[in-house]
Structures are given as C-alpha cells and as structure tokens.
Amino acid sequence: MKRIGKILIVFALLLSSSAFGQNIELTASCSRTSVDLNEPFRVTFATNSRKGDIQPPNFKKFIVVNGPFQSSQTQIINGRVSSQRSLTYEIVAQQEGEFTLPSASILVDGKLIESNRLKISVKAGTKRKNTLSQKAKESFNVSILASKKSVYVGEPVILKFRATLLDPVRDLSILQAPNFENVLQKQLEFKQQSQREVIGNKVATVLDFDKRLILPNKPGTLGGQELKISGQVQVPTGRRDFFNMPLTKFVPEVATAKIPAVKIKPLPSGAPNSFEGGVGELKLVREISRKEVSGEESITIKLRIEGAGNFNTLEVPELDKPEGFDVYDPKYNEDISYSERGIRGYKEYEYLLVPQYRGEFILPQMSWSYFNTASEKYETINVAADTLVVNNPALAGVQQSSLPGTVKREVSTIEDDIRYLQEGQFEPYQEIRLKRWSLVLLGILGVFWLWQLAPNREKVSSGVNWKKSQLKSVQKAFMVNDDQRYGVMLNALEFALVKKGLNLESVSQAALEKPFGGEIAKQIIALIEQCNMAQYAPLAVSDESNNLKTFVEVWEQI
Amino acid sequence: MGTDLNAIADSARSLYDQGLYREALENYEQLFTSQVKNDELFYNMGNCYARLGELGEAKLFYERALIYNPSNADASHNLDWVNLRITDALVEPRQELIEWVGQWGRSITDADTWALVGWGIIGVSILLLIARKTFAKSLNWRWPFTTSILALLIILVGNLSVPRMKKAIVVERNSYGYSEPSTNSKRIVLLSEGSAGTIVSTNDSWYYVELGDGRLAWFNTKEWKYVLPGLD
C-alpha cells in the first residue's frame, strides 16, 4: 500500500514538472477568415495551460450566436504530459468590412498571456464554404411587413415580423430588435400561429412572431436598425443512414430583415384654429346630465373624444364654462385599446356644475378640429349651445342682458339676504324625558313575552290531575255501590301500572317491588286479586270499605 | 310667565326692526336663560348675529334652530346664506348614520312624542299577549310580535331623536389649531369663523377637534362653541 502511495506522489511530481517545463501559449483561430454577411463562423481560443481562465475579447462588430463551448483534454505520450483547453464561440458579422478581432487573454501565475489577433473579411455575397451553410441561408428568412406604405404623422401603422422557413428551425431567438426612431411603438398581443405556404415549388412554414403598432411623430421615412434573428436550421446532408433514412444536420444561421420603407407624410397646411393635433377618425361628444335643475341638484357635463386616432398625444378640449355655476375640477376618464385596427377608445373629462344663481344660463357652443385620415382632410365638429335652467327658489336670481346669448349676474338682489324673524310661542322648554320610562315599559313587555312563552301550567300538572280524577272515579263508584266498582278500581290500577311500564296481565310481586317497594307491591297484588275475584264471584268479596281504604293508601304512594 | 316671555320676544322684534340688533340679542338671550329652547328663538338669535356681521355665531344659532326643527326652511336658507360668506372652504364634518336617523326623527316630531307613541303600542302589545294567554288562545302570535317590534323601533327612533352631536363651530374671527394643547406647540392650521369640526376630547381649556377633511388639532375652547346648547 505504501509502495502505491509513493508511486502516485512520483507520478504527480512528474506531471507538475512537465507542466512547468513547457511554454504557456494562447492561440486564436477561426473556421473562416472571409465570410458572408450574417454567416455564422467559429472562433476558438486554445491554451496548453491547465491554470487560469480564458478571457474572451470584446466582439464589438460581431454578434455571438452560440457559445461559449468549452473543451479540455490531457495526453501522456512516452511519459510526456500535455494538456489542451479551448473556448469556442459562433459569431456573425454585423456589417461589411475588414475587422481585426481583439486578442483573448489568460492570467497564469500573475503573468498575462495574450492570444494572436484574427483578421476577418466580411463581404456580402461571399460564397459560403460549404453547401450546408448555403442551404441554411436559403431556408431561413425573416421579413417585416407594414400595413401601409404611406401614412400621415399621427396615423398608426402595423408592422408584422414574419419568419419563412423552408426547413425546420429550432432555438429561434431575436438577436437584435429594431429600434424605430421618432415613433411611439406598442407591442400588440396576439396568438402566434404558423401556417404552410407554397413558395416556388417548396412548402414553407410561415410564422408571424411579433406585431407592433407604430405611431410616427415626425415626417420622413420609418427608420431604425434592422431585425436579426438566429436559429438552428435542420439541413439535409444528402447522405443516408444504415436504414436508408436521410441524414440531417443543424446549422446555425442568422436572418435579417430591413425596416420596411414607410413614408411618413406631414399633415397638410391650412389647419383650422381649433386644431390641436387630433389625427384619425374621431368624434367630440358633450353630454349634459340634465338641462333643468331645481332644489339643490347639480349638473354633470361630460366632454369626450372617442373613435380611432392618436389618443396618446391628443387632448380633450376644455369646457367653456357657463356663468352662474361653480365648476369643480374635472374628473378624467379614459379607455384606450391598441389593436391591429389601430388605437381606439375615448378620453373624457367629467365636470360638476353647482348652480349659484337662479335663471337661464347659456352653455356656449364649441368647435373642435381634427385631421381625418380617411378623407385626408381637416374636419371641424361643432357642438351647439345649450340652455341650462336653474329653478331653485333659494338661490338669488339673475338679470338677462340686452345682448342675446349672454347672462350677467345681478349686482344686488332682494332675495340675496337672510330671511326675517320668526314668530312663535316663547315658553320655557319642559323636558319630560320619557325615554327612561320607555326602557321600563320595554322591560315589562319582555316579562309578558316570557309569560307567553312559559309552558302551560295545566300540562305540567296533568300527572297530578289524572291521579285525582281516577281516585275520584273509584271513590264515586264505591259510594254509589256501582256494579262495576271493582272494574273501575282495576282500570285505575292498570292505568297506574301502565304509566310505570308494567302490564297487568303479567304483573308479579317481584316486578312491582322495584318501582313501589315490597309493602306497596304486596298491597297492589292483593287489590288486583280482590278486583279479579269481584268480577267473577262478586259475593266472595267482603269488607269493601277496607278494600277502598287500602286502595286510597296505595294510590297516594304510587 | 309665558306672557312675560312673549312680551320680551315682542320687544326684541321691535328692537330688531329699528336696527338695534345687539339690544334685540340681549332680549333673546334673556329668553334663553329663562329655559326657552325652540327653533324660532335660535333662528332669531342667528338673525341678530348675522346682522351684526358675526357669522360664526350666526351659523351656530341657525344650526341650533335646525336641531330643534330640521324642517325649518328659513333657518336652512339663512344658514346657506352664511355659509356662502364664510371664507374657509372647509368640508363640513360628516354626519353619522345615527345622527341622520335622529335628525329624521326630529323632523317628524320630538323625542317625547315618539316615546308616547311607543308607550301606546307597548300597551297594545301587552293587551294582545294577555288576551292570547287567557280568553283568545287562538289569536295568532304574529299580532303581538309585530306590535312589539314596532314599539321597539319607535322607542329606538325616539331615543335617537334626542340630539347628541359633538359638532362645534369657530365663533371668533380666527382660531389657530395646535399640535398639542399648548400655545408653545406647533401651529398646524388656521381657521376662520364659522368653520366647523367634531370635538373628539377636551383637556382643560383645549378642545381636540377633528376637521371635515380628517385633520386633527387642538383649539382654544374660547374660540369654539358646541352646536348643541348646554355642552359648553
């Protein structure tokens, strides 16, 4: 065991000495030095050092499509140990030209080692190295489709981002999203759906993966950086496997789409004075809750712009306030939705008007202009004047001036004063304070309710009553010397026994002792025998008064 | 007694008509000290204060008149008139539901009349209960039950009709609100006469008042008066 340990230590020393013995290098290499625009190619940084981390350079003019992929290997040949570590990226050039890729670096034992620099020539249309890459390029296309080619400032345009795939593509991702200039853009919600289309003689998959609403702010042409997306295209290699199935290979590819040429026209000159920037197909609505009020009612006026247009920038005009009302700060409401049909909804101010004077007041007419994108003309909406009538007699009146359509407040009015003194009987106020007694009366009422809810007394004493009535029946039968007097007595006894859950037919002394005690049980048995005998042999029964006395004694105790 | 008081009232009216509002007010105050408490007296006192330009006091007395008779239209009108001339646009204290029920009850009749009506219905309930227990056992229990509930509700409204509000009004030209019951503490609000609030608690010569907008501050009791007479 000790021997094996020694061998391992020597082996480790040999490894370390061999590492120290060689020069540390960091080399950069690439799969191609002359590439097509958007053609992915590999850049590899490799070192023979087993220490330190490889720091990649800044790929300024390039975009990393894949990676980094790391690999490392160690070889021992004739006792000589060598190791290799590498870092690989797949990148694409963003523009044409000659570029020098900065060097990568590695820090080993405090010493910074740099790699060689790579010169890359990027030229659009450069023939690709292999046919697979060329096929991948042809199979993977992306485009931006605009809903209109020419719009006015403030008129929305919908852009659709579409990928056309002749071969299956996986790992689709947007490398660079277009940053449109001088526009408001809003991503629209929609359900991604792919569909099959025949392009040339091939069936392609068409996928719309993004939709945006663009609202230009300045005239000119829609501009911005192009769209770039990357993916792994599954390209057939042309070879077949053991089972004669075609072999395919995933080839990384980048597709770009230029911003569509959409002309943004300025709004025509000659805008009316009441134009404040509204563009679209819009309406101005003025809603008055009521035109005639009485008492202390108030009026609500809603001023609303609705329809389709540039709601993000347009403003609702202010209300021309009528005389004779206190107008409170308006409440703002809006409901705006962005969709493929453009920007739709409304913006609204809700004013509350509280009458201050009695009379008729003119709510002035108002005009509002907007640019109609359908007719491509400025249009003016006129809202006619309305008359508001205040009938509240508690308010001061107003005087109509000679000019039609205007109302002036009266300087001084007779009504605008406090009212005169009141007459009444001025007698000392006598507080009776009946409420205390009310509580007492409520208490008495409660007592009556308790009395009402108490169980009926007759029912409670029913147990006592039947005993009395049975005793009376027996005594009466004996008093009048009734023929059935013993029958009556036997019935009374049976009734009492049944109440105790006993049956006269099967009654025994033992059964009677439990509820009544030994002496009473004996007396009851004797009475039952006397009664039975009297029924079948009346003459055999004697000493009736004694029997009745015994019955009464027993009856009182059961 | 009643005749003397009415003579004082007539004298006050005469003084008022001559524009001698302070003297008229003294006469009305004499009536008040003689335990006269009704909406007409408070309304007339409010008018005297309004003519003297003391709008805080005028508002106080119009509100008192409305406590005793919420349907006094003249008092409502004059109160609105005063409110229009009060400089502070402070929100009036929120009326509690109990106060609203009480005001509704008082607008129909006074608390004692409510109590008397309630007593009558209690009597009917008791008679029905006795009848059901003794000679009219077939009488449906719903009759005494309904009358008992009705009596309970009427007694409740009668109880709520007794004014119990804690509202107070600034009767001086200005009233500073302090963060603590001391003039050395921080001044946090300044109110003009006629502003109203609800008194939350008292501390010697200080009222802790909640204003209509929810703010709380300490005010000197000399500058405020309870709307409900007899609480000061």
pLDDT per residue over A514-529, tens digit each? 777 888 888 888 888 8
Highest mean pLDDT out of A41-45, B8-12, B191-195: B8-12
* pLDDT value at residue A75: 80
pTM attached to this predicted model? 0.43
Question: Are A285 and A392 within one domain?
Answer: yes
Among A132-136, A475-479, A548-552, the range scoring the smallest mean pLDDT is A132-136
* pLDDT value at residue A397: 57
For helices B73-85 and B55-68, the axis angle rounded to 10 degrees is 150
SS3 content of chain A, % helix, strand, coil (to 5): 25, 40, 35
B:126-145 residues touching chain A, CB 8 A cutoff: 126, 129-130, 132-133, 141, 144
Among A168-177, B68-77, B127-136, B137-146, the range scoring the smallest mean pLDDT is A168-177
Name the percent of chain A lying above pLDDT 70.
88
- Cis omega before residue B93 (within 30°)? no
**Exposure on the CB side of residue A100, measured as CA atoms within 13 A:** 5
Question: Are A60 and A135 within one domain?
Answer: no
Name the percent of chain B lying above pLDDT 90.
53
Q: Give residue-wise pLDDT tens across range B179-231.
A: 999 988 888 888 888 889 999 999 889 999 998 888 899 999 999 999 988 77
Tell me, yes or no, if B200 comes closer than 8 A to chain A by beta carbon. no
CATH architecture, domain B2-85: Alpha Horseshoe (1.25)
List the domain range (segments joined by +) for residue A205.
Answer: 131-264
**Exposure on the CB side of residue A176, measured as CA atoms within 13 A:** 22
Which has more confidence, A226 or B226? B226
Tell me, yes or no, if A418 comes closer than 8 A to chain B by beta carbon. yes
Question: Which strands sit side by side in the sheet containing A97-101, from one edge to the other?
Answer: A34-35, A118-122, A97-101
For residue A282, count other CB atoms closer than 10 A to its CB.
23
Tell me, yes or no, if B174 comes closer than 8 A to chain A by beta carbon. no
Give the tokens for residue B162: 């007794």
Give the nearest partner residue to A421 out of B47, B122, B162, using CB atoms: B47
Cα separations (Å) of B141 from A230, A449, B120, B121, B146? 86, 11, 19, 16, 9
Question: Are A405 and A279 within one domain?
Answer: yes
* pLDDT value at residue B89: 60
Q: Going along B114-172, which residue ranges are E strands?
A: 167-170
Q: Where are the domains of chain B?
A: 2-85, 111-160, 165-226
Torsion of CA A501, A506, A508, A514, to 10 degrees: -20
Give the nearest partner residue to A429 out of B36, B44, B77, using CB atoms: B36
Task: Check CB contact under 8 Å for B40 and A445.
Answer: no
* pLDDT value at residue A77: 80
Cα separations (Å) of B176 from B90, B140, B173, B188, B192? 14, 64, 10, 8, 9
* pLDDT value at residue A549: 86
Question: Are A95 and A155 within one domain?
Answer: no
> What mean pLDDT do residues A13-24 have?
53
Q: Going along A48-182, which residue ranges are E strands?
A: 54-55, 62-77, 80-93, 97-101, 105-108, 111-114, 118-122, 140-146, 150-152, 157-165, 169-176
Task: Check CB contact under 8 Å for A422 and B74.
Answer: yes
Does A9 reside within a domain?
yes
Tell me, yes or no, if A454 comes closer than 8 A to chain B by beta carbon. no
Q: Is the pLDDT of residue A8 over 60?
A: no
Supply the ipTM of this predicted assembly: 0.79
Give the nearest partner residue to B122 out of A420, A425, A445, using CB atoms: A445
Question: Are A92 and A157 within one domain?
Answer: no
Question: Are A248 and A284 within one domain?
Answer: no
Question: Which strands sit side by side in the sheet containing A263-265, from one edge to the other?
Answer: A150-152, A263-265, A220-221
Question: Are A248 and A290 within one domain?
Answer: no
Cα three-residue angle B28-B33-B35, rounded to 5 degrees: 100
Task: Check CB contact under 8 Å for B6 and A426.
Answer: yes
In the DSSP assignment, the letter for residue B221 is: G
How far is the alpha carbon of B145 from chain A, nearest alpha carbon, in Å? 9
Give the tokens for residue B120: 């009558």
Domain count, chain A: 4
> What mean pLDDT do residues A264-272 have?
87
The Cα–Cα gap between B182 and A449 comes to 57
> What mean pLDDT do residues B84-88 have?
73
In the DSSP assignment, the letter for residue B34 is: T
Question: Are A338 and A281 within one domain?
Answer: yes
For helices A518-536 and A544-557, the axis angle rounded to 10 degrees is 140
Tell me, yes or no, if B36 comes closer than 8 A to chain A by beta carbon. yes
Phi first, then psi: give them for residue B93, nearest 5 degrees. Answer: -60, 145
* pLDDT value at residue A406: 42
Helix (H) / strand (E) containing A346: strand A342-355
Final residue belonging to a domain, choices A381, A409, A437? A409
Q: Which of A357, A392, A418 is most worth mutating to test chain B (most B CB atoms within 10 A of its CB)?
A: A418
Tell me, yes or no, if B9 comes closer than 8 A to chain A by beta carbon. yes
Question: Are A401 and A512 within one domain?
Answer: no
Final residue belonging to a domain, choices A235, A264, A293? A264
Question: Are A391 and A281 within one domain?
Answer: yes
Rg (CA), chain A: 55
Q: Give residue-wise pLDDT tens across range A192-214.
A: 778 888 877 788 888 888 888 88
Name the residue in chain B with its Cα closest to that of A425.
B6
Among A126-140, A219-233, A236-250, B188-202, the range scoring the smallest mean pLDDT is A126-140
* pLDDT value at residue B198: 92
Give the nearest partner residue to B119 out of A441, A448, A449, using CB atoms: A441
Query: Number of residue pairs across A and B with CB atoms under 8 Å?
Result: 112
Q: Give residue-wise pLDDT tens across range A382-433.
A: 888 888 888 876 666 554 443 344 444 433 343 467 888 888 778 777 666 6
Question: Are A390 and A289 within one domain?
Answer: yes
Which has more confidence, B147 or A497? B147
Which has more confidence, A534 or B20? B20
Chain B residues touching A445 at Cβ < 8 A:
122, 125-126, 148, 151
Phi first, then psi: give them for residue A150, nearest 5 degrees. Answer: -145, 125
Work out the mean pLDDT of chain B and round it to a whole number: 89
The Cα–Cα gap between A121 and A98 comes to 5
Name the CATH superfamily, with its identifier, for domain B165-226: SH3 Domains (2.30.30.40)
How far is the alpha carbon of B182 from chain A, nearest alpha carbon, in Å? 38
**Which contacts of A436-442 are long-range, i.e. CB under 8 A and separated by 24 or more positions?**
A437/B115, A437/B119, A438/B115, A438/B118, A438/B119, A438/B155, A438/B158, A438/B159, A439/B155, A441/B118, A441/B119, A441/B122, A442/B122, A442/B151, A442/B152, A442/B155
Question: Are A314 and A383 within one domain?
Answer: yes
Give the nearest partner residue to B5 out of A394, A426, A432, using CB atoms: A426
Chain B residues touching A423 at Cβ < 8 A:
13, 40
Does A441 reside within a domain?
no
